[in-house]
Structure 1
């Protein structure tokens, strides 16, 4: 069975080495070295990663990540490429796939499109299908602040609701390839090939929503 988490991890590591440590990314002002440090912290420093979710601890998380980012870039990439540590639940294939597939796909695109906003990979149908299957689970977090309903229309891959409307809102339909829709609901809206359709006030509300996990 193909592990898309592992293939995206390997592809991201190859891209890191191609672009170098100071390449821009879509992650705010982070350079490639900062994103690499983030991935290591997330996977290997649970004591520090908690600051990603608890604001009072965010400063400590930032300091540890900044320290990691100062290590030799090739060392950072090798650490990521080696995969989750044996003590991590992510070392189990099924958990790795659930926890890391979307994460590494999005961050791979963060590097590719950070360097060249027009960059587009041709994903095979099996990976697009896997991304489409993951959209509802990802949407539970990334769309949690959204008041409008969100429907993903991925053409031949299918159509499904990602979030029900709240209050007096209706639905906004996101039309595009599964990978593009995933990037869009992760907040990379400026560089995705996704069309929005719905009532004007719903589309405006969606555009103002703070997206991402």
Structure 2
């Protein structure tokens, strides 16, 4: 499969696996307290242990915190019992074929934002990183993810949140209502990172 024929989710997965392999298990990430080994174990758990999904999805809620604690315990056990090289192989190969998340249309839906964000979590924690130049098609795909995460992030700002594409005139999405209005401008990948909590490394303008 050539890079051009892959879905964006598959391309981001492959690129992240390459970077994890290159950096080794002890490199920092933008996820607080996590090394590349922690992140690899998280991704393998997400891929292969559907029973951990509720905890990972609801971690930010009071109801989800006990479930999240158990999900992270599963990740910790996996990291302790599995060599890093094997974890990276599993990240690269993805979920087993019998899981719905292995089907390309489902993977495109659930993995695009996950792998784009975590790829940047690793990239942007390394010295000398620079933003990538993504093709318009990829940015258009990530715009939908940015809008979704923006709706979730709207509660973190007073009034309304407006995400505005810096690469496409007139393209913006408003979440919430009232004043003041927080306008965040950037390319879709940068907006996605900002909305997903990576505000220190997202290249956006906030006004």
Q: Provide TM-score, normalisation by structure 1.
A: 0.84
2:112 equivalent to 1:101 = yes
CA distance in 2, matches of 1:182, 1:162: 14
Is the 2:167–2:186 Cα contact (8 Å) retained in structure 1?
Answer: no
* Counterpart residue number, 1:119: 130
- CA deviation profile, 1:53-93 (whole Å, cap 9, x unmatched): 22122332222111111211110011111122222221222
C-alpha RMSD of matched pairs (Å): 1.9
- Between the aligned partners of 1:3 and 1:162, the Cα distance in structure 2 is 28
Tell me what 2:13 maps to: 9
Per the alignment, residue 161 of structure 1 pairs with: 173
Residue 36 of structure 1 pairs with residue 36 of structure 2 = no
Structure 1 range deviating more: 30-39 or 51-60: 51-60
2:79 equivalent among 52, 58, 69: 69
Give runs of aligned pairs for residues 199-210 of structure 1, distance below 5 A. Answer: none
CA distance in 1, matches of 2:84, 2:109: 27
Q: How many residues align?
A: 195
Q: How does 1:45-194 map to 2 (within 5 A)?
A: 45-52=49-56, 53=58, 54-70=64-80, 71-116=82-127, 118-158=129-169, 159-165=171-177, 168-194=178-204
CA distance in 2, matches of 1:60, 1:12: 26
TM-score of the two chains, using structure 2 as the length reference = 0.86
Larger displacement relative to structure 2 (9-18 or 111-120): 111-120
**Aligned 8 A contact 1:118 1:191 in 2:** no
Secondary structure class of the residue paired with 1:114: coil
User: Structure 1's 97 and 49: CA in aligned 2 closer, same or farther, altered over 3 A?
Assistant: same
Gaps of at least 5 residues in structure 2 are 59-63
Rate the CA distance shift 1:45–1:188 in 2: closer, same or farther, 3 A. Answer: same
Q: Distance in 1 between matches of 2:144 and 2:66?
A: 35
